[in-house]
Amino acid sequence: MTALFEQNIVGERQIIDFHTHPYRKRGEFMGMYGESFYLEPEEMPEDLGRAGIGVFCGSVIDSDHRVAMESFDRVREVNDAALQLREKFGDAYVPGFHVHPAFVSESLAEVERMHAEGVGLVGELVPYLQGWQQAGCDYGSEALMEILARAGEYGMVVSYHTMPEWPQQMEKMVSRNPGVTFVAAHPGQKEDYLHHVERMRKYPNLYLDISGTGLFRYGLLAACAQTVGAERILFGTDYPICNPRMYVQAVLGEHISQEDKKRILFGNAKRILGI
Q: How far is the CB of 267 from Zn ion (least distance, A)?
A: 23
Closer CB to Zn ion, 52 or 123, in the complex: 123
Closer CB to Zn ion, 104 or 160, in the complex: 160
Backbone angles phi, psi at 158, to 5 degrees: -115, 120
Q: Does 172 bind Zn ion (CB under 5 A)?
A: no
Closer CB to Zn ion, 13 or 161, in the complex: 161
Closer CB to Zn ion, 52 or 236, in the complex: 236
Closer CB to Zn ion, 9 or 82, in the complex: 82
Q: Which stretch binds Zn ion (CB under 5 A): 38-46, 177-185, 239-247, 267-275?
A: 177-185
Q: How far is the CB of 9 from Zn ion (least distance, A)?
A: 25
**Could you give the CA distance from residue 254 to residue 69 in angstroms, rounded to a whole number?**
42
Q: What length does the chain have?
A: 275
Closer CB to Zn ion, 87 or 191, in the complex: 191
Q: Tell me if 146 sits within 8 A of 175, measured CB to CB.
A: no
**Could you give the CA distance from residue 242 to residue 257 in angstroms, rounded to a whole number?**
25
Q: Does 196 bind Zn ion (CB under 5 A)?
A: no
- For residue 221, how many other CB atoms are within 10 A of its CB? 24
Q: Does 125 bind Zn ion (CB under 5 A)?
A: no
Q: Which stretch binds Zn ion (CB under 5 A): 39-47, 115-123, 130-138, 156-164?
A: 156-164
State the DSSP H helix or E strand holding residue 268, giving kind and residue range, or none if neither.
helix 268-273
**Could you give the CA distance from residue 160 to residue 91 in angstroms, rounded to a whole number?**
23
3-state secondary structure of 96: strand
Q: Does 98 bind Zn ion (CB under 5 A)?
A: no
To 10 degrees, the CA torsion angle through 193, 15, 182, 196? -10
- Region 18-47 residues binding Zn ion, contact defined as CB under 5 A: none
How far lies 65's CA from each of 73, 132, 247, 265, in Å? 11, 11, 27, 31
Closer CB to Zn ion, 185 or 250, in the complex: 185
Q: Tell me if 108 sits within 8 A of 148, measured CB to CB.
A: no
Out of 185, 233, 256, 272, which residue is the one contacting Zn ion (CB under 5 A)?
185
Q: Which stretch binds Zn ion (CB under 5 A): 60-68, 130-138, 147-155, 182-190?
A: 182-190
Q: Does 150 bind Zn ion (CB under 5 A)?
A: no
Out of 161, 196, 261, 263, which residue is the one contacting Zn ion (CB under 5 A)?
161
Q: Tell me if 266 sits within 8 A of 33, measured CB to CB.
A: no
Q: Which residues contact 175 (CB under 8 A, 6 or more apart)?
A: 202, 203
- For residue 189, how many other CB atoms are within 10 A of its CB? 11
Q: Which stretch binds Zn ion (CB under 5 A): 52-60, 115-123, 130-138, 178-186?
A: 178-186
Q: How far is the CB of 144 from Zn ion (least distance, A)?
A: 17
Q: How far is the CB of 185 from Zn ion (least distance, A)?
A: 4
Site for Zn ion, rule CB under 5 A: 161, 185
